[in-house]
Amino acid sequence: MPDSKMDETKKKKKKTAECCGYPISIFFIVVNEFCERFSYYGMRAVLVLYFRYFLLWDDDLATSIYHAFVALCYLTPILGAIIADSWLGKFKTIIYLSIVYAVGQVVMAVSTIHDITDANRDGTPDNFTLHIALSMLGLVLIALGTGGIKPCVAAFGGDQFQEHQSRQLNTFFSVFYLCINAGSLLSTLITPVLRAQECGIHTQQQCYPLAFGVPAALMVVSLVVFIAGSGMYTKTAPEGNIMGSVCKCIWFALNNRFRHRSDIYPKREHWMDWAEEKYDKLLIAQIKMVLKVLFLYIPLPMFWTLFDQKGSRWTLQATTMTGDFGGFVLQPDQMQTVNPILILTLVPIMDRIIFPLIKKCGLNFSPLKRMTVGMLFAATAFIAAALVQMEIDKTLPNFPSSSESQLKVVNMHSESLIVTVPSQEPLLIGSFESSPDYITFDQQDIRLAFNTTPEINKDLSLIKGSRQTLIIPSEPAEMYLKEDIKSKPKEGKNAVRFVNGWTAYLNITNLESSLQPSETSNYTLVSQGMRKFTLTDGIQSCEFSRKFGFGSSYTFLIPSDLFSTDCESIKEIEDMQPNSVHMALQIPQYFLITTGEVMFSVTGLQFSYSQAPKNMKSVLQAGWLCTNAVGNIIVLIVAELGKLPKQWAEYVLFASLLVAVSIIFSIMAYFYTYIDPAEIEAEILKQQETDPDKKKKKETLEMEEKENEQEIKQTKI
Ligand SMILES: CC(C)C[C@H](N)C(=O)N1CCC[C@H]1C(=O)O
């Protein structure tokens, strides 16, 4: 940096207003981060539902696009960092990319208004292509904005502190993290409630425009707050195309090293020193600092690979558990809010109690040690998840393997039946009852014999890996097979179906179509709690209520005396027991992973800032965020491809991998020497000032570069 520029920055730094030892400008930055994270996580909370139920995509497409979007959000930081450090500076980059971000959120919210294309006013959009195009455009703009500003905001916050405020600087990163989590917690609680409202101009539908509109509004607030603090910020000017210079310098060093590979040339301390012939010592030293840290980051994505499974695997695990806490009921996906809640409590506890205590005990708990311990905590969290999984497995039904088939028999006939089944004792099935449990067969083709007059022999071809029910209606010869669900219902819901033993067709609330006599309905999913079904044949009707838990499956047998008993004679067959392991058992694993996150992620933010040269602060923040992006991608690829047959074994495998990675990281960390980049930079500048030769050489190089740039510009013209 030219000396005059550096003096300018120093002068500006002296002027910053303080409150309790903190620069006042920090207030605007943390509020901005709170609103931005509210906007981002709020929108994310309803995104899959929007894909699934508004755009009517199937589960696979909805989750793939969702994960691709999340990965993109963590890949764009590098772009934002380059723009900030090489071209616009952090302040302008944050403003411009926040505008892109806010526009993206607005476009996204507009794409969810069904009325804009609902010409026939039937409540569904008529032009899906327009809605898809708008939402994809919105998401790309959001990914550019959120990812682009992320490394800049953290680094810009750090820039506000002066040398004597190093303690406050560390606290800033903790407060910054608290704001991230306060924003995300509030929005993930609020936006699903907004979505559940009904709104619309012509027809009332689920209110996606509100659920996406509020995050869009918060992004605008975030931008306004950031601009409001404009007069108070310390703004460090970018130093030209720094990333260009970095790449050229590295390229030159590699080439020069290769040209001088013979033993006759004296060795140099570091391969980057081979750039000394052409490049400034300061730039070379800065590149060395960045490369050292980036090298250290190589093993870190593994932490995020485990962390990100909290949102997928652990939520799936919760769907096989019960969330009834007596006074209130927790839904499986709500369990994820435990993470930000714990962050809000653990960050102050760590900062105020645990870390000072460790220091008092005379232990040097350096940032890299904290990060290693953080990884070990995450590994332990996965061991806890494996133990919980083993408990759950004990309560899960015995689902058929891919080579087995399972069969249940339901008797709707007016008399008891004796069914002879291959390699089994004959089964006595009472009228209006079912066989006690599923019978498992290794073979697909079986023959059943029934003691009816005349006797019926039925050849069945079962589906491998499936559960099926043989329904014997009032007319046994018309028996038929119906396929059952073979895994726990999604999202902790309950799967219910009805067999119509009434003599006429029936309409049942929640069922897609009316049920003909002797017909069995498809499954319908109902949430936990008291659920009411109204049954009507067009003339008579009755109501049937039942309280459901989580993850059960029932077949309800409708008798021929349905209306005379006012629905009370409906009989239930439990095909799958409700979940019995309590979601509270997941709290230890959430506690462990969040403790790990505080040690790993908050420290990582601080470390990336403190070890970066002044002109590459955003770049190193982006490098840090990239570890998250890579972790996300690993979840997408490895976790999906490499599924182990037992879920608990997969958890143990991931925990072991992270332990191995943390050992490698601790060895790498052992050889890392902490630096004070400002001190090194000042020293080199001082050396250069006192060394007339070097000063001259540097000036000549600077002039050469300027001439080169001008030449390029002229050739372009
Ligand atoms: C997943 C939670 C809502 C947020 C999480 N605790 C967190 O703060 N982060 C996860 C990735 C980094 C960080 C963030 O910046 O959002």
Structure confidence at residue 236 (pLDDT): 85
Do residues 572 and 585 share a domain?
no
Do residues 232 and 308 share a domain?
no
- Which ligand 1 atom sits nearest the alpha carbon of residue 304? 11
Please tell me the distance between residue 231's alpha carbon and the centre of ligand 1 in angstroms.
Answer: 30
CA gap 598, 390 in Å, rounded = 28
Model confidence band, residue 316 (pLDDT cutoffs 50, 70, 90)? confident
Please tell me the distance between residue 607's alpha carbon and the centre of ligand 1 in angstroms.
Answer: 17
Q: For residue 675, tell me if it sits in a domain.
A: no
- Which ligand 1 atom sits nearest the alpha carbon of residue 343? 6
Alpha-carbon distances of 690 from 106, 283, 533, 696, rounded to whole Å: 56, 18, 88, 11
Q: Among 149, 175, 180, name the best residue to mutate to test ligand 1's pocket (greatest count of ligand atoms within 8 A of Cβ).
A: 180
Q: What is the mean pLDDT of residues 335-361?
A: 95
Tokens, residue 113: 């208004």
Q: What is the mean pLDDT of residues 61-68?
A: 84
Q: What is the mean pLDDT of residues 3-23?
A: 58
248-252, 309-313, 326-330: which is most confident? 248-252
- Which ligand 1 atom sits nearest the alpha carbon of residue 307? 10
Tokens, residue 16: 């910053």
Q: Among 35, 146, 181, 371, name the best residue to mutate to test ligand 1's pocket (greatest count of ligand atoms within 8 A of Cβ).
A: 181
| Residue linked to tokens 């002797």 | 518
Do residues 39 and 166 share a domain?
yes
Please tell me the distance between residue 304's alpha carbon and the centre of ligand 1 in angstroms.
Answer: 10
User: Could you give the number of structural domains in the chain?
Assistant: 3
Q: For residue 65, what is the domain's CATH number?
A: 1.20.1250.20
Angle ∠(147,148,151) on CA atoms, nearest 5: 85
Do residues 180 and 67 share a domain?
yes
Q: What is the largest CA-CA distance in the chain?
A: 114
Model confidence band, residue 143 (pLDDT cutoffs 50, 70, 90)? very high
Please tell me the distance between residue 167's alpha carbon and the centre of ligand 1 in angstroms.
Answer: 23
CA gap 548, 64 in Å, rounded = 31
- Which ligand 1 atom sits nearest the alpha carbon of residue 185? 3
**DSSP for residue 414:** S
Q: For residue 643, tell me if it sits in a domain.
A: yes
User: Is pLDDT above 80 for 717?
Assistant: no
CA gap 552, 488 in Å, rounded = 7
User: Is pLDDT above 50 for 8?
Assistant: no
Domain C-terminal end among 628, 650, 668: 668
Give the residue among 182, 110, 179 at the shortest CA–CA distance from 139: 110
Tokens, residue 633: 């991608």
Model confidence band, residue 639 (pLDDT cutoffs 50, 70, 90)? low
Please tell me the distance between residue 598's alpha carbon and the centre of ligand 1 in angstroms.
Answer: 10
Structure-derived torsion over alpha carbons of residues 303, 307, 312, 316, reported in degrees to the nearest 10: 110
Model confidence band, residue 10 (pLDDT cutoffs 50, 70, 90)? very low
Please tell me the distance between residue 180's alpha carbon and the centre of ligand 1 in angstroms.
Answer: 7
Tokens, residue 688: 């250069």
For ligand 1, atom 6: residue with the closest CA: 340
Average pLDDT over all residues of the chain: 90
Please tell me the distance between residue 340's alpha carbon and the centre of ligand 1 in angstroms.
Answer: 8
Please tell me the distance between residue 181's alpha carbon and the centre of ligand 1 in angstroms.
Answer: 7
Q: Among 36, 184, 336, 590, name the best residue to mutate to test ligand 1's pocket (greatest count of ligand atoms within 8 A of Cβ).
A: 184
Do residues 285 and 218 share a domain?
no
- Containing H/E element for 23? strand 22-23
Do residues 145 and 98 share a domain?
yes
Contact 530, 547 (CB under 8 A): yes
- Which ligand 1 atom sits nearest the alpha carbon of residue 337? 3
Do residues 151 and 177 share a domain?
yes
Supply the pTM of this predicted model.
Answer: 0.85
Do residues 492 and 523 share a domain?
yes
Q: For residue 24, tell me if it sits in a domain.
A: yes
Angle ∠(22,24,26) on CA atoms, nearest 5: 80
- Which ligand 1 atom sits nearest the alpha carbon of residue 40? 16
Other beta carbons within 10 Å of 682: 13
- Write a three-state SS string for 281-304: HHHHHHHHHHHHHHHHCCCCHHHH
Distance of CA 569 to the CA centre of its chain: 46
User: Is pLDDT above 50 for 1?
Assistant: no
pLDDT in tens, 173-230: 999 999 999 999 999 999 988 988 889 888 888 899 999 999 999 999 999 999 999 9
Do residues 185 and 47 share a domain?
yes
Please tell me the distance between residue 716's alpha carbon and the centre of ligand 1 in angstroms.
Answer: 44
Structure confidence at residue 3 (pLDDT): 37
- Which ligand 1 atom sits nearest the alpha carbon of residue 625? 12
Ligand 1, CB within 6 Å, residue ranges: 41, 180-181, 184, 339-340, 343, 597, 601, 628
Domain C-terminal end among 535, 555, 576: 576
pLDDT in tens, 571-598: 999 999 999 999 999 999 999 999 999 9
ipTM of this model?
0.98
Please tell me the distance between residue 71's alpha carbon and the centre of ligand 1 in angstroms.
Answer: 14
Do residues 136 and 124 share a domain?
yes
Q: For residue 267, tell me if it sits in a domain.
A: no
Q: What is the mean pLDDT of residues 85-110?
A: 96
pLDDT in tens, 523-545: 999 999 999 999 999 999 999 99
For ligand 1, atom 16: residue with the closest CA: 180
Domain of residue 106 covers: 16-240
Do residues 517 and 551 share a domain?
yes
Alpha-carbon distances of 450 from 411, 442, 478, rounded to whole Å: 11, 21, 13
Structure confidence at residue 697 (pLDDT): 57
Q: For residue 21, tell me if it sits in a domain.
A: yes
Domain C-terminal end among 215, 240, 265: 240
What phi and psi, each to the nearest 5 degrees, are found at residue 202?
Answer: -90, -45
Q: For residue 522, tell me if it sits in a domain.
A: yes
Q: For residue 2, tell me if it sits in a domain.
A: no
Please tell me the distance between residue 289's alpha carbon and the centre of ligand 1 in angstroms.
Answer: 27
Q: For residue 714, tell me if it sits in a domain.
A: no
How many contiguous H segments (helices) and E segments (strands) does the chain have? 22, 20
Do residues 380 and 458 share a domain?
no
Structure confidence at residue 702 (pLDDT): 59
3-state helix, strand, coil in the chain (%, to 5): 60, 15, 25
Give the residue among 297, 369, 389, 344 at the shortest CA–CA distance from 655: 389
pLDDT in tens, 414-429: 999 999 988 888 999 9
Q: What is the DSSP string of 177-243?
A: HHHHHHHHHHHHHHHHHHHHSEE-SSS-EE-HHHHHHHHHHHHHHHHHHHHHTGGG---PPP-SSHH
